[in-house]
Amino acid sequence: MSLITSSSDLALVCARLARHDFVTVDTEFLRETTFWPKVCVIQLASDDEAVAIDTLAEGLDMAPFFDLMANERVVKVFHAARQDVEIMWHLAKMVPAPLFDTQVAAMVCGFGDQVSYGELVQSICKISLDKSSRFTDWSRRPLSDAQITYALADVTHLRDVYRSLVARLEKSGRTSWLADEMKTLTSASTYEQHPENAWERLRNRARKPRDLAVLMEVSAWREREAQSRDVPRSRVLKDDIMVEVALAAPRTPEALAQLRSFPRGMERSRSGADILAAIERGVERDPKTLPRIDRERRNNSGGATVELLKVLLRQVAERHGVAAKMIATVDDLEAIAVDDKAKVSAMTGWRRELFGHKALELKHGRLALTVEEGKVVTLEWQDAPDASANAAE
């Protein structure tokens, strides 16, 4: 029984799966024409079986599945879990726990940034996946045998990938590193949709406080509109138009219509009126209440330091077999360049031990970078050949 279409069968399958230490999970969904992802198929596998749940089957009660996802005795294994978990949060306001993300684990184990499932299966299982059904319409029924076979492959090989990565993490003593990353993935706040925060996607496009204030209000309006209509944000208003509106801040329908890229006729619609009201709210905001955006950070005296920190980051990542993205982001480097006590992940825990401490040493001239046999290596200042001469000077 590989395709589940009835509530009774789903309940039986989930009861069997709940007896295992872990289950692998994947979803097939569509999102091209909606704001919220439309889940079409959910795949599950244990050591004993693999099934695909037809979530579009009429009358299907998904409660047993969500109970399984909430079962704390069973580890839920995903690859690149964020969108899958977002679906479950939207459908049932729950986050699977405990959760293991093989993409994140692979980054900790040195497989590179955001390694794909196919690459992991090839590397660990020595199998090339058939991707011929990858872009099929998962909402059409009936599902073909090829689609079901493709879908199940995404959870059957995941079992071996999971075991291999767990063994590598335990051998390297990096299991706790992964636990830190899972905190973000399993936090409900990661998936909560707050329209008032929608502006952050475009935060670097604002030139001055008024621009930012208008952008915040218009972005919040667009987010609420997209959610209520269940359409992609771009179907409501494209990003470039949003920025143009924020920079120009037109106050009348006529001025709104004068914007080069603004949809014709929209200025006289309900949406046009809502946009003008949002602009008005933005213009009236007290600049002191606006968040600070460090737009010029990269252009200040820390710019050269950031470039050196990037080289150090690559060197540390290669030496320790950890994806650079796991250790620090560009934002982290920019913050460290201007503040020794920057409150960023790269300056806490294992990241500080691996990279943060060295970053400060490099920043203050107590660590040098050089090339030996074609590879970047670090050189402590006191170990440099002319260190004593420099000290004497």
Reported as a pLDDT band with limits 50, 70 and 90, residue 294 is low
> Residues 71, 149: one domain?
yes
Of 19-23, 306-310, 365-369, 376-380, give the range with the top mean pLDDT: 19-23
pLDDT of residue 371: 78
> Residues 186, 199: one domain?
no
What rounded mean pLDDT belongs to the chain?
Answer: 90
Where does a domain end: 259, 289, 319? 289
> Residues 123, 202: one domain?
no
Q: What average pLDDT does the segment 45-66 reach? A: 97
Percent of the chain with pLDDT over 70: 93
pLDDT digits (tens, 9 = 90+) for 203-248: 888 889 999 999 999 999 999 999 999 999 999 999 999 999 999 9
Q: What average pLDDT does the segment 106-127 reach? A: 93
pLDDT digits (tens, 9 = 90+) for 257-276: 999 999 999 999 999 999 99
Q: Evaluate if residue 301 carries a pLDDT over 60.
A: no
> Residues 59, 174: one domain?
yes
pLDDT of residue 298: 43
Reported as a pLDDT band with limits 50, 70 and 90, residue 391 is very low
Q: Evaluate if residue 380 carries a pLDDT over 70.
A: no
Where does a domain end: 246, 262, 289? 289
> Residues 69, 208: one domain?
no
> Residues 126, 144: one domain?
yes
pLDDT of residue 130: 85
The three-state (H, E, C) secondary structure of the chain, written as one string = CCEECCHHHHHHHHHHHCCCCEEEEEEEEECCCCCCCEEEEEEEECCCCEEEEECCCCCCCCHHHHHHHHCCCCEEEECCCHHHHHHHHHHHCCCCCCEEEHHHHHHHCCCCCCCCHHHHHHHHHCCCCCCCCCCCCCCCCCCCHHHHHHHHHHHHHHHHHHHHHHHHHHHHCCHHHHHHHHHHHCCHHHCCCCHHHHHHHHHHHCCCHHHHHHHHHHHHHHHHHHHHHCCCHHHHCCHHHHHHHHHHCCCCHHHHHCCCCCCCCHHHCHHHHHHHHHHHHHHHCCHHHCCCCCCCHHHCCCHHHHHHHHHHHHHHHHHHCCCHHHHCCHHHHHHHHHCCCCCCHHHCHHHHHHHHHHHHHHHCCCEEEEEECCEEEEEEHHHCCCHHHHHHC
pLDDT of residue 125: 95
> Residues 181, 200: one domain?
no
> Residues 49, 149: one domain?
yes
Between residues 286 and 204, the one the model is more confident about: 286
Q: Evaluate if residue 87 carries a pLDDT over 70.
A: yes
pLDDT digits (tens, 9 = 90+) for 72-81: 999 999 999 9
Cβ-based neighbour number of residue 301 at 10 Å: 8
> Which of 35-49, 138-152, 185-199, 364-378 is predicted with the least confidence, judged by mean pLDDT?
364-378
> Which of 121-135, 137-151, 264-278 is predicted with the least confidence, judged by mean pLDDT?
121-135
Between residues 26 and 2, the one the model is more confident about: 26
pLDDT of residue 377: 72
Q: What average pLDDT does the segment 195-200 reach? A: 94
Reported as a pLDDT band with limits 50, 70 and 90, residue 293 is low
pLDDT of residue 184: 87
Q: Residue 245's domain is classified under what CATH number? A: 1.10.150.80
Between residues 176 and 46, the one the model is more confident about: 46
pLDDT of residue 135: 83
> Residues 68, 217: one domain?
no
Q: Evaluate if residue 179 carries a pLDDT over 60.
A: yes
Q: Evaluate if residue 61 carries a pLDDT over 50.
A: yes
Domain that holds residue 332: 297-392
pLDDT of residue 304: 86
Q: Evaluate if residue 322 carries a pLDDT over 80.
A: yes
Q: Residue 354's domain is classified under what CATH number? A: 1.10.150
Percent of the chain with pLDDT over 90: 77
Q: Evaluate if residue 386 carries a pLDDT over 50.
A: no
Number of structural domains found in the chain = 3
> Residues 21, 39: one domain?
yes
Q: What average pLDDT does the segment 137-148 reach? A: 94
> Residues 167, 201: one domain?
no
Cβ-based neighbour number of residue 382 at 10 Å: 10
> Residues 158, 44: one domain?
yes
Where does a domain end: 268, 289, 310? 289
